[in-house]
Structure 1
Amino acid sequence: MKNKSRLFQYFCGFSAVCLTLLVSSPLALLAFYDSKSVVPVAGASVYQDSPSPKTMYTLPDTIADAYYMNENPENPPLSVKPVYDVFTVQERQTKGLSLELPKVSPYYASKVVCLTFDDGPDPENTPVVLDILKSHGIKATFFVVGTQIEKHPDVLRRVYQEGHAIGNHSYNHVYRELYQSANTYVSQLRRTDDIIKKVIGVRPRISRAPGGSAGSFTKEYWETLSKLGYVEVGWNVSSGDASNAKAGRIFNNIVTQMDNKNLWSHTIVLMHDGSGHGETVRALPDIIKYYKDRQFEFRVINLETPPAW
């Protein structure tokens, strides 16, 4: 009888231990759960800690090494990366999101250079330019034309995926249509934004006027661009490759202008990778070597880039 009583006591004790483990196990799991360990998924709205509109942000389906503007007004600070917007102007207006750009300080250093290429993407020149840039481990900025993107979307996709910056260079580059008014100019930018976003999932906030803003822009142009959140990007060193100059002449044009050391802190070089600019491609290795030999820092155009002048 004593043995049965002792066995009953053991059984009750064991049951009590099991019951305690069952009750406490959810608490133990919660103790090791980290609510911040959720990994964001591309192409979806993501919530950190709590689903409040303040912390919500959207990412594109295909992510490159870039900074993305989205719904979140508390994005991390900008860096050396290209800047893209997840939303077009129309989408921001429809969603009631701000078109205002983040307040950032311009980046100056003792020696900085931004290599820029206009009028692409081109199926012959742009891939070779990309190969050269990749072999030297540097990034550049490509101001692209809408009609060219429609013909060669894969080339634009490569520019994006390899971490270069992309800027808007109008839809058709036809001056008589482009510069009728501020509205016609912006209309071409917005049309090209839509085309770019269809190809890479985002659109740029930087733009460059074909032929430059001087002589084409009035006060109304600048006000309209500012209102819609575009950053117009000029240049302060021209390669002169819009002419029939050969590679040697293109290189010398750049070197001569670099005598002005006031430009060294924010050099922006204008080149072209569009059709007919094979001499620019041939000059590019020497141009890169010139800046590398002088320990220049290569950067892309973004919101931290100072005005050219």
Structure 2
Amino acid sequence: MKYLFHRLSRSRNLLILAAAYIIGAGTGNLYSFLRSERNIVETSASSTSWGLSFQEEGKRPVGTASVEELAQYDAYFAEDTEEKVLYLTFDCGYENGNMPVILDALKKHHVPATFFAVGNFIKDNPALIKRMVQEGHIVGNHTFTHPDMSSISSMEAFQKELSSVEKLYESLIQAPMTKFYRPPRGIYSTENLSMAKELGYKTFFWSLAYVDWYEDKQPTKEEAFDKLLTRIHPGAVVLLHSTSKTNGEILDELLTKWEEMGYTFHSLTELIKN
């Protein structure tokens, strides 16, 4: 795994990163799936970085925006429920051999998942995309080039990032792509959310994630379980990265442990109905 991390030279951006660590799950804010420094972008003044504050074990964390605030944009980070349901999602930037193991575990446990894929993932892994669809999973839109979408102010440019992924998917699957969208690195603006809604998209953040994306600093099994078991809560939208070796190794056991805790797994299509 070879993520490129932006060298943020401006103190303002450093503060954003620090804040993301402090509030507990600014998971997407620290990495880029792109493999070229030419893709470095500035965070616009109106942008917000998604983050979470975990205040009580087994309870939904406080997000950068509330369930109600996000609802006006057809956006979600968790379900407001006391029922022990959870929604499993993966961010997919590229394939490094983990995806077949992940899909095997999901199939074993009959768990539906949503895979938010960037353009190159779909282009480079047609067989995996087809398998996801055949096994009942949703392929969501994580944009074509994984940019800071909050820095895009025109509807034309915003739409192009999403429609380019749609075209790849629809050419491969011969069916319309489900309009589920996740902002790269969790960076967004209310203008972005409005544009996504206008294009017919539902936007999904998350209520549980952990630092699983460093190739050379993968969490141990114990570290992963410490976060993923103690912070799970009714209505959770869980974000995992498909490139994490640890996630591939623990997923079967993790799903079993969540089942033993009384959780059932639903598709994001169920979340938007509630």
TM-score of the aligned structures, taking structure 1 as reference length = 0.57
For 1:206, which of 174, 177, 180 is the aligned residue? 180
* Residue in 2 that maps onto 1:280: 247
Preserved CA contact (<8 Å) 1:251 1:286: no
- After TM superposition, give the deviation of residue 242 of structure 1 in Å: 2.4
Give the Cα–Cα distance (whole angstroms) in 2 for the partners of residues 251 and 185 of structure 1.
Answer: 37
2:89 is paired with a residue of what secondary structure? strand
Preserved CA contact (<8 Å) 2:150 2:192: no
* Residue in 2 that maps onto 1:60: none
1:156 is paired with a residue of what secondary structure? helix
Aligned residues: 191
* Residue in 1 that maps onto 2:267: 300
Give the Cα–Cα distance (whole angstroms) in 1 for the partners of residues 273 and 188 of structure 2.
Answer: 19
Q: Please tell me whether residue 238 in structure 1 is matched to residue 205 in structure 2.
A: no
Q: Please tell me whether residue 267 in structure 1 is matched to residue 246 in structure 2.
A: no
Give the Cα–Cα distance (whole angstroms) in 1 for the partners of residues 146 and 238 of structure 2.
Answer: 20
Give the Cα–Cα distance (whole angstroms) in 1 for the partners of residues 158 and 211 of structure 2.
Answer: 25
How is 1:10-89 mapped onto 2 (pairs within 5 angstroms)?
A: none
Q: How much is the aligned-residue C-alpha RMSD, in angstroms?
A: 2.3
Instruction: Pick the structure with greater CA Rg.
Output: 1
- After TM superposition, give the deviation of residue 248 of structure 1 in Å: 2.5
* Residue in 1 that maps onto 2:127: 154
* Residue in 2 that maps onto 1:36: none
- After TM superposition, give the deviation of residue 218 of structure 1 in Å: 2.2
Give the Cα–Cα distance (whole angstroms) in 2 for the partners of residues 224 and 129 of structure 1.
Answer: 33
Classify 1:280/1:306 alpha carbon distance in 2 versus 1 (closer, same or farther; 3 Å).
Answer: farther
Preserved CA contact (<8 Å) 2:240 2:247: yes
Give the Cα–Cα distance (whole angstroms) in 1 for the partners of residues 206 and 273 of structure 2.
Answer: 10
Give the Cα–Cα distance (whole angstroms) in 2 for the partners of residues 185 and 250 of structure 1.
Answer: 35
Q: Please tell me whether residue 189 in structure 1 is matched to residue 162 in structure 2.
A: yes
TM-score of the aligned structures, taking structure 2 as reference length = 0.64
Give the Cα–Cα distance (whole angstroms) in 2 for the partners of residues 250 and 209 of structure 1.
Answer: 24
2:185 is paired with a residue of what secondary structure? coil
Preserved CA contact (<8 Å) 1:120 1:126: no
CA deviation digits over 1:219-239, x for unaligned, max 9?
A: 221211111110000110113
Give the Cα–Cα distance (whole angstroms) in 2 for the partners of residues 239 and 269 of structure 1.
Answer: 9
Preserved CA contact (<8 Å) 1:170 1:185: no
Give the Cα–Cα distance (whole angstroms) in 2 for the partners of residues 126 and 161 of structure 1.
Answer: 15
Classify 1:303/1:294 alpha carbon distance in 2 versus 1 (closer, same or farther; 3 Å).
Answer: closer
1:118 is paired with a residue of what secondary structure? strand
- After TM superposition, give the deviation of residue 295 of structure 1 in Å: 2.0
Q: Choose 131-140 or 159-168, whichever is displaced more.
A: 131-140
Classify 1:135/1:234 alpha carbon distance in 2 versus 1 (closer, same or farther; 3 Å).
Answer: same
Give the Cα–Cα distance (whole angstroms) in 1 for the partners of residues 183 and 100 of structure 2.
Answer: 23
* Residue in 2 that maps onto 1:228: 199
Classify 1:123/1:155 alpha carbon distance in 2 versus 1 (closer, same or farther; 3 Å).
Answer: farther
CA deviation digits over 1:139-169, x for unaligned, max 9?
A: 2111111111111111101100110122111
Give the Cα–Cα distance (whole angstroms) in 1 for the partners of residues 131 and 165 of structure 2.
Answer: 18
Q: Please tell me whether residue 289 in structure 1 is matched to residue 262 in structure 2.
A: no
- After TM superposition, give the deviation of residue 108 of structure 1 in Å: 4.3
Preserved CA contact (<8 Å) 2:117 2:139: yes
Give the Cα–Cα distance (whole angstroms) in 2 for the partners of residues 135 and 121 of structure 1.
Answer: 24
Relative contact order, higher structure (CA 8 A, sep 6+): 2
For 2:254, give the aligned amino acid. I
Identity of aligned residues (%): 26
Preserved CA contact (<8 Å) 2:112 2:266: yes
Give the Cα–Cα distance (whole angstroms) in 2 for the partners of residues 139 and 223 of structure 1.
Answer: 28
- After TM superposition, give the deviation of residue 199 of structure 1 in Å: 1.1
CA deviation digits over 1:82-137, x for unaligned, max 9?
A: xxxxxxxxxxxxxxxxxxx9xxxx78461001111102562611111111111122
Preserved CA contact (<8 Å) 2:116 2:140: yes
For 2:143, give the aligned amino acid. S
* Gap regions ≥5 residues in structure 2: 1-73
